[in-house]
Every structure is written in structure tokens, then in C-alpha cells.
Chains A and B, each alone.
Chain A
Amino acid sequence: MQPQPVVQLEDIRKTYRNGELEVHAVRGISLEMHTGEFIAIMGASGSGKSTLMNTLGCLDRPTSGRYLLDGVDVSGLNRNERADLRNQKLGFVFQGFNLLSRTSALENVELPMLYAPRRVSAREMRDRAMHALDIVGLAARHDHLPNQLSGGQQQRVAIARALVNEPRVLLADEPTGNLDTRTSVEVMGVFQRLNEQGITIVMVTHELDIAHYCKRNLIVRDGLGVRDELVSDRLRSEDELAKLNQAEVLAKLSHA
């Protein structure tokens, strides 16, 4: 028997209405995702990737279609029930980091636990936040403010925050969009390790090589899924980092 999919989309449509003008951002996407998958959604700008991600993240409601998360129909839930879903089952990493400014990395990561339906003690909150920061390699910087961290580090804090409530699915909208090559590879390394531990990950990316770190690629065009394929020549972040290091050493040697 096939196990139940974590995410099941059935003919999802989203239409934005600006006065007279209707924009059909998503025009009927059906999709199944299973535990342990690592999917990249790709497509041109304006093709509806973010709209789809926001729907998956229960931040936005589709105009029509059914969305089952862990077998539960999300469209039947009210505002606060969806907030609890976002808090407990979904971890969202935003393109623009969206950390609270003037708030330490640790407090940012603690935030989802403050809104957890079950009360978490201050001690447990701190321990779990430190653990999440440790996973992304930032435990030593837990007391730094966002403006004291590099872009890649801020993105890793955002990932730690998304992880801290142990979600079923980690959603990331262009997590490497603002990062240079090296930091992008590092962030993909974090994702790959998390995925190996069994977390389902869906991310949006523009970049073909970033998509190659994932297991499955979904191509969207004009609000429709046009291709859905497994990645055959998958990249591993360790290998790519090693290559990058080597290239840098060479560059320095040639300069010398």
C-alpha cells in the first residue's frame, strides 16, 4: 500500500483580482509529495511559484482546489487553525530572511515556540533554539543581532527558526536568491543534511544549478506545472565546496 502523501494538491487555482483585471497566477496544479522528498520548483519570473509556495505554506488560500496536509483538508480551517498549522507542521524560509530586527538570533529562533499551542518552558525554549542554531552551524553566534550577521548567516538563522518546531515540511522561497555562490552552496548543504535526516523540503529557485542539489524538479510556466522529473546528476554540497576551495587556492596561487 502506498503511504499517505504529506502534501496533496488537487487542481489548485489562484486568481488575483485588481478591479477589472484578473490575474490567473496558478491555473490548476495537482501534486503529491511524500515524506523525505526534496523538491525544487522552477520557472520564469511571474510564473506563479511564490503563489504556489504561499498556498503550500497556508499563508494564502487558493481560489479553488483541494489542499490536504497530512490528510487534513486545509481549506476547511479558519485563520487561527491555519496559524497553528504554520506553527507546528510547516517551516517557512522567506526570500528576504524576515528576521525580527534588533532581536538576537536566539530570540528569533525562539519565536515559533512562543506561539506554540502547547506552552514551552523558557529553558526548553532556549535548549531547542540552541540545538536548531547548532544544526545550521551558528550556535556560537546566538547572541548576534541580524545586522551583525552576513546574508548567508541570516538565512541560516531563518532556517533554524523554520526548523525549531520540527515541521513536517520545510518550505523555502528562493532561499539562495540573495546569496553569492559559496553561501548558496553552504545553505544547500544545510538543506541536504536536513533532508537526509528525513525532513521533506520544498524550495523555489531560479537557478538551474541550485535545483540540481534537490531530488525532484517541478517546472512551472504560466501557472501550470509543465514538467516534473527526478534529478539524475545530483550535486552534493561537500563536493562543490571542495571544488570551490580548490579554485580559490588556485586563484591565489596564480596571483602570487
Chain B
Amino acid sequence: MRIIATTVISLRALRRNKLRSFLTALGIIIGVGSVITMVSIGNGAKAQVEAQVASLGRNVISVFPGSVTTGGARGGQGSSNTLTVEDALAIKREIMGAVSVSPELRQGNQVQGNGLNWRTQVHGVDPDFLSIRTWNIAEGDMFTDNDVRSTTKVCVVGATIVKQIFPDVDPVGQVLRVGNIPFRIVGVLESKGFNYFGSDQDDVVLMPYTSFMSRVFRWRNTVNNILIEASTPEAMERVQLDIADLLAQRRGDREPDFTVRNQLELAAAASKTSGTMTQLLAGIAFVSLVVGGIGIMNIMLVSVTERTREIGIRLAIGAHDRDIRIQFLIEAMILSAMGGILGSLLGIGISHTLSNLNGWPVLVSTQSIVVAVAFSAAFGIGFGFYPAHKAAKLDPIEALRFE
């Protein structure tokens, strides 16, 4: 085998046409780059979800309306809105290990104040909501149990509301009209930023759930969910079972229409979702890698035709068909290896740029680099083989006559 000589020949051939070589490699560069970027973004998102879910507190239990398995026809979560404030109060009253309980009622609403208006999410909650969500007040105070009892028209607002409605005034003490009802702002929430689904967690108004039910959403007493904090992580399982029993008991013969989940289960579900997303992104990127490989084959095929005369000269001068085949294979391999390396650098670069731009954690995984580069090398050989074979089969005389 004249491998060294053939490698020299391939390198010289590639060097002779730098632009074509670069364009051929470009498909692989983009393919590898996008695989690495996509996997990095996906991994970063997954890590962030896990971190966020963990930051909600390990002892938190949520109750959603909607049943899991009821046999026969079943609705999805939230399809039957029959979880009520009374359920939340019953939990608070009767479950031993539940240290904090808060119902959560949500509705999108137009709010006005300071001559400006804005559409936001209005939540009716218990003061305990803050401790369960490990959320703090930045300025002023949270409303109190007293406010809940006497359905006071008070609220606390998120940082986005301050930015949109009170850009130049101290919001504490100001009036915010929800619908047409005036609420006095007693506090401003600490900023939490965007969550993993991309929604702004600071775009929110919290008010006593009693006020929410009597002023904002008058004919409703069903809740979106109930949040419970267990005293210790160990107590959580017990508390979870007790809640399920209590709610079932309260429903008597009716089919259970609620789901009790703890934070760990939510974390697992969320990270499974983002794992699926990573796979999906990687799948899309992989397709572009395949397209890059086909691009190499395409250009190699064109170049076999374009270089028929060159091949004829080589054959006439004493090249064996094997020499020609290996030359074209090595050219394809060098191109895809080059594409793999440049693509990795591109992918790593884009990943870091993205993470700097929007503050996502982007985790570049070595595994994705190895896999992407290995595949691009394999494509180089795989897609280079047919053109190489075609070139090697040429007849020297006919190749020389080719115009």
C-alpha cells in the first residue's frame, strides 16, 4: 500500500482547490456544530430545570385537580376543576405534618395604576405561599392572615409590574386597579427572572385568596392547585398519603378528581421532559449532519467528473485503480475530519456565546463531541466510497479524451 504517497497526493489535490474543499467541509462543519450546540442547550436546560425544581424546596407537595387513573373515560390534569378552597382549609386543619398550606388561584387580568396599564397574572394565595415557594419580599411587607380573614383589598407585586406601571414611583402604598377594583400595594417581591418555560415569574400580582374570590373572580371557589410544605423530608411521604386519604374521604362515593405530587416526582417529570427535548434537538441536528455527509458525496461525485482528466493522467502515469480509490477516500476523510474539528469548535463557540447572551447554563458534553466527530468521519468514508469507486473504474484512455 502506498498510503503515505497517496496521502501526499490527496493533500496536494485538496490544497489545489481550497475553496471547493472548504465548501465541501461546510456541510459537516454545520452539522457537527449544530449537534454539539443543540445537545449543550438541551443539557443546560435540563440542569436548570432540575436546579429550579430543587430550589422550590424538597418538602413541597402539590395537589392538582384531575385524576390520574379512574378507569373508563378520564380527563387530563386540570380538566375537572373541582379542587376547592375548602379542600385546602381541610388539609391545613387536619393534616399533622403539613406546616404551611396555600391554595393557588390564577387568572390573567388587566391592571392599571399610575396612569399606565398592563396585562398580567393575578394570583390569589395564602401568606404561606411565599415561604413554600422560598420567595422573599424585597420592599414593604407581605399581606397577613388578617388580610385573608377580612378580604382586604391589598396586594404585593412582582418586579415586572414595578417596571411597567411604577417605573419612577415607589410602588408601596400606591393603588393598583385589578379589573376595576382598587388594591393597595403593600410590598414588592424579590425578582426571580424567567423560568425554564420562558415565562416571566416576576410578571405577577399576589393577593389574599379570599379577596381574589370575592373581588376578582366572584363566582369561583375552585383552585388551580394547593401547595403544602411538609415539616421534614421524611414526613413527606406520610403527609402525601394522608392528604390523598383526606381528599378521598371528603369526596365520599365520587371518583377521586385530584392528583397529589411531591417535588421529587415533579423534578423527575420535568427532567424527563427536558431530556426528551434534548433528544429531539439532537435528532434534528443529526439530520443536518446526514445532509452534510450527502453534501460531501455530492461534491465528491461532481469532482470525479470534473477531474476525469486528472484521473486519466494519473492512471496513464502508472496509478493503480487502488491508488485512485484511496486518494478519493482519503480526500473525503480529510474533509470530514476537518469538518468535524471545525464543527466542534463552532459548536463550543456558539454554546458559550448563547450562554453568555441569555444566562442559560450551557453544558458542552464531551460525549456529544465524540459522537458527532465519529459520525462525521464515518460519513466521510461512507459517502466518499461511491465517488472513489467510480473514479477508480475509469479507463485511462477514455479519461484522457474527456473534455
Q: Identify the A interface with B (CB < 8 A).
A: 54, 57, 59-60, 79-80, 83-84, 86-88, 92, 94, 98-103, 107, 111-112, 114-116, 119, 161
With A98-B309, A98-B313 as contacts: A116 and B318 at CB distance below 8 Å: yes
Q: Contacts of B2 on A, CB cut-off 8 Å?
A: 114-115, 119
Indicate whether A119 sits within 8 Å of B4 (C-beta atoms), given known contacts A54-B397, A79-B321. yes
Q: Is the interface of B mostly helix, strand, loop or mixed?
A: helix
Partner of A86, one of B4, B316, B321: B316
Determine if B5 and A119 form an interchain contact, defined as CB atoms under 8 angstroms apart: yes
Pick from B5, B12, B309, B312: contact of A115, CB below 8 A: B5
Q: How far is the CA of A103 from the CA of B314 in the complex (A)?
A: 13
Interface residues on B, range: 20 to 34
List chain B residues, Cβ under 8 A from A94: 316, 400
Contact B9–A114 (Cβ < 8 Å): yes
Task: Point out the residues of chain A lying under 8 angstroms from B320, CB to CB.
Answer: 79-80, 83-84, 115
Q: B16 touching A111 by the CB < 8 A rule?
A: no
Whether A111 contacts B317 by the Cβ 8 Å rule is: yes
Contact B12 A83 (CB under 8 A): no
7 more CB-based (< 8 A) A-B contacts, given A79-B321, A114-B8, A115-B317 = A60-B397, A84-B318, A87-B317, A102-B17, A103-B16, A114-B2, A119-B2
Using a CB-CB cutoff of 8 Å, which residues 302-326 of chain B contact chain A? 309-310, 312-323
Interface residues in chain B, defined as those with a beta carbon under 8 Å from any beta carbon in chain A: 2, 4-6, 8-9, 12, 16-17, 309-310, 312-323, 396-397, 400
**Which residue of the partner chain, among A84, A87, A100, A119, contacts B313 with CB atoms under 8 Å?**
A100
Q: Which residues of chain B are within 8 angstroms of A101 by Cβ–Cβ distance?
A: 16, 310
Residues of B within 8 A of A119 (CB): 2, 4-5
Residues of A within 8 A of B8 (CB): 114
* CA gap between A94 and B399 in the complex, in Å: 13
In whole Å, how far is A114's beta carbon from the nearest beta carbon of chain B?
A: 5
20 contacts between A and B (CB under 8 A): A57-B316, A59-B397, A59-B400, A80-B320, A80-B321, A80-B322, A86-B316, A87-B318, A92-B317, A94-B316, A98-B400, A100-B313, A107-B12, A111-B313, A112-B318, A114-B2, A114-B5, A114-B6, A115-B318, A119-B2
